[in-house]
Chains A and B, each alone.
Chain A
């Protein structure tokens, strides 16, 4: 392949253009995925805050039935995998799935580590640190947000049940959202980029081949035929016309050499 002009030209051009396109597409895809994931986390965090604000009154009034109904209704929404509220001891007190109730969560589990990794648990988490991604038991990719339920002044002074004012966090809201749509969108973007790269590669190869064929190989072939005819001493062929300037000059020199050696031969014979 490397012995032909076409091979030498196409391999280098193909590798260079394709390689550069692939690198740019990979970096662009990575940037898009980071941006999409960040937006998904922000939306999920907003949803968690909305849930907390919606259930605040029920918690303040210790209306457990309303709170449980609200959590159950939210859990039935499409795309919501789980919604649960832990108390300070890590026990699930409210959940969209009744079989999770009163289970104690291990502090070393993935969702708890951001706050409980040190000797003193953190009381504040950044937005991105609140999120975690995992696969559930059915193999579906889930993004979960842990939102702390802070002890506000109203909470520690409510008449129904009182939280001591020195307790900063009363519990945690854990919301799990399905990433199926997100994964599907990213797969579509990935496929589009692959197709785009392939199209660019094909166009580059076809374009270079067409250009080489018209401007180099066809004129070279005509020059080659002229040289062969001149060498075989046939009826002197006319210099091919409409060649690129370089090749036309070469053809004219070959013609002059052939005429000179033909004249010299005639002199020798004479």
Chain B
């Protein structure tokens, strides 16, 4: 039997367990997921901007000698490259694991930070020109996989929420399994 939706007082929040409250919650969740789905792309865009700035020589404003004076002698370019390969590998594995598990994880911008640190490390070791494209490639791969993971998760969850919304509108309550 279909439940009638009771009209609420204008401006007053609906009661927690009423169909209106459920619809509000689900709708809010759908909007949050819609905003969240583009998080990966924003992180990728930010990384590309940073890469373009570094590629145009912005990093040369910070002299390598100053970096050495503040942070000490940098590791050798070979050690930094090895670390980049290991980081890329494990970042991809982690992202794929979260993708397999359907986990909502708000990473992405942390990778932008890590990759910017790699630019700085190479700049301090005076090997940025030789390894610039390796960092850009790693960033595009990791952030590309992250973007896809986040988009895929949001896409599926929004579809489930929309089915839930339709169910609540039809019956006025959540399905038994929810």
Residues of A at the B interface (CB closer than 8 Å) are 2, 8, 11-12, 15-16, 18-20, 22-24, 26-27, 30-31, 33-34
Contacts and interface: CB of A to CB of B under 8 A. Distances in A.
Nearest to B144: A15
Contacts of B77: 30, 34
A19 B144 CA distance: 9
B81 A12 contact: no
Interface residues of B, number: 24
B137 A22 contact: yes
Contacts of B96: 12, 16
B145 A27 contact: no
Interface stretch (B43-51, B126-134, B164-172): B126-134
Contacts of A20: 88-89, 92, 141
B62 interface: no
27 contacts: A8-B152, A11-B148, A12-B96, A12-B99, A12-B145, A15-B144, A15-B148, A16-B96, A16-B141, A16-B145, A19-B138, A19-B145, A20-B89, A23-B85, A23-B138, A24-B85, A27-B81, A27-B84, A27-B85, A30-B77, A30-B130, A30-B134, A31-B78, A33-B130, A34-B77, A34-B127, A34-B130
Chain A contact residues, majority secondary structure: helix
B174 interface: no
B26 interface: no
B144 A31 contact: no
A240 to B, nearest CB: 28
Contacts of B145: 12, 15-16, 19
Contacts of B127: 30, 34
A8 B156 CA distance: 13
Contacts of A26: 131, 133-134, 137
B41 interface: no
Instruction: Give me the 9 closest cross-chain CB pairs, A-B, nearest first.
Output: A19-B141, A26-B134, A30-B130, A27-B81, A23-B137, A23-B138, A22-B137, A27-B134, A26-B133
A157 to B, nearest CB: 43
B148 A12 contact: yes
Nearest to B142: A19
B120 interface: no
B18 to A, nearest CB: 36
A183 B127 CA distance: 19
Contacts of B99: 12
Nearest to A30: B130
B67 interface: no
A251 B12 CA distance: 52
B131 A27 contact: yes
B140 interface: yes
Interface in B78-130: 78, 81, 84-85, 88-89, 92, 96, 99, 127, 130
Nearest to B131: A30
Given A8-B152, A12-B99, A16-B92, A23 B141 contact: yes
